[in-house]
Amino acid sequence: MSRRKQIYEGKAKILYEGPEPGTLVQYFKDDATAFNAQKKATLDGKGVLNNRISEFIMLRLMEIGIPTHFIRRLNMREQLIKKVEIVPLEVICRNVAAGTMSVRLGIEEGEKLPRSIVEFCLKRDDLGDPLVAEEHVYAFGWATQGEMDEIIAMTLRINDYLQGMFAGIGIRLVDFKIEFGRLAHPDGLGDHMIILADEISPDSCRLWDMETNKKLDKDRFRRDLGEVTEAYTEVATRLGILKPNPSTANISVISSND
């Protein structure tokens, strides 16, 4: 790892220069942060679980035609990805009221929304990632109208697919955050295509057990509910990534090539 050039270090991931031009290596750390990094901890095994869960979800989404930055998983903590220019927006899609939406609009957490809602936050840690309107996006040139049309259409498609995928394993997809990037068009034309980037994992989704409403996501860390990696392990097990292992919290990976 030390031989590679580090491009960027975020709160939960590190990006290194990739082996070929146009690629990067995305390394998943065990670090967890919340409330704009005011709360921090290291959760043993979280990076391994998020690497696997995000790989699984990206592959499923690619199967239904969503373009993503994912190329392949390299090992327990790393995946090879396409280098993109990140659109500076956190795109949040919500099906059930929770978190900041409940607080902002006074809707009780757990209330089903009349329809799925897509929101945008500016990626600015120093400002606490403020909620912005599409008008801000165009006025400040963070993305074009064409790009936003693609982003919204892809987000709703991802939401439809993931809601069904999680429902099939008894999990309610309450909300999630995704990020998109610009990739030079493969046919060499001047324009850029928008692809899904970053990760999709229990760090970036709210996932509730459908029967008990047990939280199986990062809210366990944010709200000091305990058993965070156990909950992530439960998600990975239900997705079929890990072998069920009721006696221990050990991670036994199915068909690993690590």
DSSP 201: S
Cβ atoms of 158 and 197 within 8 Å: the answer is no
Q: Which residue is nearest to ligand CDP (CB)?
A: 99
* Amino acid making up residue 229: T
Minimum separation from the CB atom of position 129 to ligand CDP (A)? 5
Residue numbers 103-142 binding ligand CDP by CB under 6 A: 129
176 near ligand CDP, rule: CB under 6 A: yes
The Cα 174–Cα 102 span in angstroms is 12
Out of 95, 163, 204, 237, the residue judged to bind ligand CDP by CB under 6 A: 204
Give, in order, the Cα–Cα distances in Å from 191 to each of 134, 145, 149, 182, 186: 21, 14, 15, 9, 10
179 near ligand CDP, rule: CB under 6 A: no
175 near ligand CDP, rule: CB under 6 A: yes
Out of 13, 172, 215, 218, the residue judged to bind ligand CDP by CB under 6 A: 218
Cβ atoms of 88 and 23 within 8 Å: the answer is no
46 near ligand CDP, rule: CB under 6 A: no
Q: Which is nearer to ligand CDP, 18 or 54 (CB)?
A: 54
**Binding span for ligand CDP by CB under 6 A among 73-81, 141-149, 202-210, 229-237:** 202-210
Residue entry with tokens 């930055």: 69
Minimum separation from the CB atom of position 104 to ligand CDP (A)? 9
Per-residue tokens: 250 = 């050990």
The Cα 166–Cα 140 span in angstroms is 36
Interface residues toward ligand CDP, by CB under 6 A: 90, 92, 98-101, 129, 175-177, 204-206, 218
